[in-house]
Structure 1
Amino acid sequence: MSTDQPHPSRADDGPPDDLSAFIGLLNELKTTGCNLLVVGDAPREVFTRASGRLLGDDDQLRYRLLAVTDATPRSIAERLPDPDAAPRSLTETTRILNHTGAPRSVTAATDPTTPPELAGIRETCVADPELRGLQSALAEAIDETENRADRLRPADLRVCLDSLGPLIDHYGPDVVRRCIDAVGGHVRDRDAMAHYVLANAYDSDPVQALAPGVDAIIELRTVDPDEYGHDAQQRWHVPRRDITTEWTPL
């Protein structure tokens, strides 16, 4: 499901107006800014695929800000648009914040392991090892992107944090929740869209601890392609509105 053209299906046991209510909610979130939590018991490749779609279609002008803690350079490259299809150079519209335990550049052209798609993209290694350093860097990058862009329309700015796992392991869910709340305020102020990756089951304690701080939760799972005709599915949860979609192809 692309957030540029959402086409969810309602749950089988839900009332007939669930679908229209959910589509209306997605359009509202795109207009006013939103924060999404992407979770599930699925391989990292599935999260990369979902993240790429949330970052926007290749042929649409989107400004992308990716903060990474454990995402590999290849997975970062795979979620960015095809440079030949993008309306502007990725070096103009994309920025990476590197918050790894031992910062190592993911865009260095001199590193033979760097995917060519990442060469030249602006990268900032967050020197402050505390979570407040990442929080401040994200807020500053959001502000700077808004100032540098010609004009940001709702949902033009897409923010990704991949992943929350190492942060929760080190700081605990309460501290991470406060970070998401702070960053999420900047996201909503710019009518932007942010998603945060957490490779945990939907009903796990870390996910449920963070759930009140986001607008919706996207749950991922893998399925048998011979049975379903595709290998991964998603469903959306919006606890505040008591909405859960049925599983749909990713």
Structure 2
Amino acid sequence: MASPKPRFRGEDAVRDLDAVLRTMKREGCHLLVTGEVDARVADRATRRLFGDPNYDRKRVLAAPDSSTHVDRYLPVDVSPTDPAVWVVDPTGRERSIPPSAEDRTLPDADGDGSDLDRLRQELVQAVTFYADAGDGLAPAELQVGVASADALLERDDRHAVEQFLRTLGALVRGVDGMGHVRVALPDDHPTVASLSPLFDARIELRRRDGLVPEQRWHVPDRDVTTAWTQL
């Protein structure tokens, strides 16, 4: 028996996606961002996923490739040194943490374990810090983003990367936060297919010649793929 075709466009798909987004914001979610686009488009998507700078958000940015400038991933007027921003970097070169978290024991770049282990340890520290501060976290108040998982997929064991992403998803959902991970691969790439079950939805990016960047959402559990819309 043939599997049902995913639904595109139309009011039903829009209503389904709206309902999914409301649930994600209320209960937490983990999103995979795909598509072969230039860095400017990918960075724009990451900034948008980190939320409106005018709202009270706690932002945790993981930058596995510390050769890049982390401020390119944050919304306008949000600085890596803001007290509500924690930049996670297993090498320690781009790390930036809130002043009130300076007593935390963070992974040492020269310590035991792999970069992936240290990345996981510091992400746990960052999320726990914000969850324990004040009155805790409201739904969608915590935004966690891995700017690019490409280096992890290239240099680390695939099973280890998948376990890291599974742990990250559980961590973010556990505090009703919203997380996203970027991979610079086509949405129909076999690697995306293997990673997709670890996420609640995928956001596919594209930019056609002479046109504005676009996105569409895939929600496998709801069998929904939206139409392309402006990013």
CA RMSD across the alignment: 2.7
**Structure 1 unaligned spans of 5+:** 1-9, 109-117
The amino acid that maps onto 1:249 is: Q
The amino acid that maps onto 1:232 is: P
Matched, 1:244 2:225: yes
- What residue number does 1:95 align with? 86
| TM-score normalized by the length of structure 1 | 0.78
| TM-score normalized by the length of structure 2 | 0.84
> How far is the alpha carbon of 1:171 from its aligned partner?
1.8
Partner deviation per Cα, 1:148-192 (whole Å, 9 max, x = no partner): 244421000000112111111112333211111111111111000
Compared CA separation, residues 196 and 77, structure 1 to 2 (3 A): same
Counterpart secondary structure, 2:218: strand
Compared CA separation, residues 72 and 222, structure 1 to 2 (3 A): farther
Q: Of residues 119, 131, 134 in structure 1, which corresponds to 2:116?
A: 131
Partner deviation per Cα, 1:78-132 (whole Å, 9 max, x = no partner): 332343xx6x995210001113xxx362369xxxxxxxxx9x8x89675243422
**Structure 2 unaligned spans of 5+:** 1-6
Map 1:162-241 to 2 at 5 A: 162-225=147-210, 228=211, 231-241=212-222
Map 1:1-250 to 2 at 5 A: 11-12=8-9, 14=10, 16-70=11-65, 72-74=67-69, 76-83=70-77, 91-99=82-90, 103=91, 105-106=93-94, 127=109, 128-225=113-210, 228=211, 231-250=212-231
The amino acid that maps onto 1:17 is: D
Provide runs of 4+ in structure 1 moved above 4 Å.
Answer: 122-126
Q: In structure 2, what is the Cα distance between the partners aligned to 1:41 and 1:81?
A: 22
Counterpart secondary structure, 1:65: strand
Aligned pairs, number: 219
Paired-residue identity, %: 33
